[in-house]
Amino acid sequence: MLERRFGALRRLLRDPLGALGLVLVTLIVVMALGADVLAPYGPNATNVKARLQAPSELHWLGTDQLGRDIFSRVLVGSRIALWVAAVTSFFSLIGGLTLGLIAGYGPKWLDSLLILLCDSIRAFPTVLFALAVVTLLGPSLGTIILIITIFNVPVYARIVRTQTLSLGTTEFILAERSLGASAFRVLFVHVLPNVIGPLLILVSMDVPVVITIEAGLSFLGLGVRPPTASWGSILNDGYAFIRNTPWMVIAGGLPLILATLGFTFLGEALRDAFDPRLRKDV
């Protein structure tokens, strides 16, 4: 088992895009964890005399309309992005696994009810649903996490349900059931280990989607509240001054691009490394 895992890791590192993705993800994580140490200024420290300055030795990415250091705000914004991605991925994974296992192994009427619920949620446009929830609960980081989680759970639930239905007709599952194994044992001892691996890889590939949604909602004013630093709020601040000070938009958009490329490359490389059916050397 250990040798197989090291073999998968070696295949990951031999993949140029996988190695690049790992470097970019590591860079984003270091930015988030070390923001307090790496940031040269406080993210909310204002200096009106230094407002809208171009990138320089003092301010690597320039300053915004309040004189705040954009580089420091980008570093702190990476923490918000990863926190939202981590929390929503965790709750979406738990919710999707639970509903998917119940739908795939439970009675037919319960399966139909859960599928109807999932399809109904996914039928709503994300922005319109976000507007409705924000109107009721108010814009905040918790509201963003709730919105993204509600939209991701049905996706993971349908995938787990399909895998569970497929595994339910296999010989080893039928043998366990014939021996009187409980539904709990069948699901958590035999089904869960077979569905969790592909699902984790899918979650890693959905991280850039979550980060982009958080930035988009913050850009629209539906996310974190000022003066909290977020990549979306940096883009929003820079949009009003884009003709004269384009570095603000570049500073807010570049981390989104790097995060998207990094997690996408890493997720695809993980999928190729751990799924034997997709390996080119088999």
Cα dihedral 149, 151, 155, 160 sign? positive
pLDDT tens profile 212-245? 888 888 888 888 887 888 898 888 888 888 888 8
Task: Count how many Cα atoms sit within 13 Å of the Cα of residue 56 in the half-sphere of its side chain.
Answer: 9
Question: What's the pLDDT at 5?
Answer: 52
C-alpha 106/C-alpha 36 separation (Å) is: 49
Cα dihedral 235, 239, 241, 242 sign? positive
Q: Where are the alpha helices (H) located in 34-69, listed in sequence order?
A: 35-38
Question: What's the pLDDT at 275?
Answer: 60
Question: What's the pLDDT at 7?
Answer: 57
Q: Give pTM, 2 decimals.
A: 0.83
User: Taking Cα atoms as reference points, which of 69, 73, 94, 79 lies closest to residue 29?
Assistant: 79
C-alpha dihedral, 218 to 224 to 230 to 231, nearest 10°: -10
- In the chain, which stretches have pLDDT less than 70? 1-13, 273-282
Fold classification of 43-262 (topology level): MetI-like fold (1.10.3720)
Report the length, in residues, of the chain.
Answer: 282
Q: Are 42 and 219 in contact (CB under 8 A)?
A: no
Q: Are 24 and 258 in contact (CB under 8 A)?
A: yes
